[in-house]
Structure 1
């Protein structure tokens, strides 16, 4: 029972950790503007408090997202369509990629160096893994009435993330578009456990 409760609360806890870290460390860093500066700047090498932000802003939320996806896998009974299992695995990989962004931070002194490129690649992998997982969830939920609400939420969040990553940055600051992508993922994490079939 305690394990089930932990898994159920993992998604909302991930969202809370990320939001508190973003607000707290953003307020502590002089001249940091939430509307203009990327989230990853708070964890960049050479920035005061970067290690703590990477822990509470990337590592912990990512680990909790993985736990939430493990719960998703464990809720799948025998005979679950393969697409649903693949979906859960891709969503789990997305959480791992989010956590890894805290292990491989940006370099504030050189945005174009290898460390910064690895961080950017992990961000892209996080996005692609989630959107692929959401698409597989949508496919697997056909004929599985209990999984449809979760699949609809996942698909809506994935489409919003793709728009944020590739369209919205043309009409708003890139930092805002990035935050909208993160918030779509956060919405999925916050609601996923409530929408799982019994």
Structure 2
């Protein structure tokens, strides 16, 4: 399920980027082809954010059901992962306003983006506390997701850093979907 969500998001980003004149995956944010007023934005938001987010929400829900013997913290972590996946989906329902990045629409999109990575880091940490097999992947996620999403845009550009952060998130979720050994 995580691989399907990641493939859907990646293919959508590649195709939409090719259709949007002047768009650079290296420099432009991933949400730009889904911004208000951009042609085909609704479909882009559905295929990049909406459906992958809902698929990963189902994965997080199933993960929570597989954690009953690990204690309360990992189950709360799975609930945070559910919030992260729903925040990913919400980014598509709350598109950016490229004409006014300080507008309410852009602020709501940015809030969903922040909720995505903050709830992911908290959730992954809590799940890994009870699932030894996820600890190494979680340490990598601690460094990659917030580091790339928040700190690296100045160094790598918004496009590259966001895509790497999203790949790390999808990768961790894919790893968490595998067999669990508390």
Normalised TM-score (structure 1): 0.86
* Cα offset, 1:104, TM superposition: 0.6
2:13 corresponding residue in structure 1: 22
CA contact 1:94–1:125 (8 Å) conserved in 2 = yes
C-alpha deviation, 1:74, in angstroms: 1.4
CA–CA separation in structure 2 for the residues paired with 1:195 and 1:80: 14
Which segments of 5 or more consecutive residues in structure 2 lack a partner in the other structure? none
Residue 67 (str. 1) matches residue 58 (str. 2) = yes
Provide the C-alpha distance between the structure 2 equivalents of 1:170 and 1:54, rounded to a whole number of angstroms: 25
Is residue 191 from structure 1 mapped to residue 182 from structure 2 by the alignment? no
- Cα RMSD, aligned residues only: 1.5
Q: Does 1:114 align with 2:98?
A: no
**Does the 8 A contact of 1:130 with 1:158 survive in 2?**
no
User: Structure 1 stretch 187-196 or stretch 87-96: which is displaced more?
Assistant: 187-196
Structure 1 residue 158 displacement after superposition: 2.9
Structure 2 partner of 1:105: 95
Task: Using structure 2 for the length normalisation, give the TM-score.
Answer: 0.94
CA deviations on 1:169-196 (whole Å, 9 max, x unpaired) are: 2322122111111111011122222242
Quote the residue 1:7 is aligned against. Answer: none
* Rounded Cα–Cα distance in structure 1 between residues aligned with 2:26 and 2:179: 32
CA distance in 1, matches of 2:30, 2:24: 10
By how many angstroms is 1:64 displaced? 0.4
Aligned match of 2:27: 36
SS at 1:171's partner residue?
Answer: helix
Contact 1:138–1:155, Cα closer than 8 Å, also in 2: no
Q: Following TM superposition, by how much is the alpha carbon of 1:71 offset from its aligned partner in structure 2, in angstroms? A: 1.2
Distance 1:95 1:154 in 2: 16
SS of the aligned residue for 2:124 comes to helix
TM-superposition CA deviations, 1:85-121 (whole Å, max 9, x none)? 1110001100000000111100122111010010001
Contact 1:54 1:103 in 2 (8 A): yes
- What is the count of residue pairs matched by the alignment? 182
Q: Greater CA deviation, 117-126 or 182-191?
A: 182-191
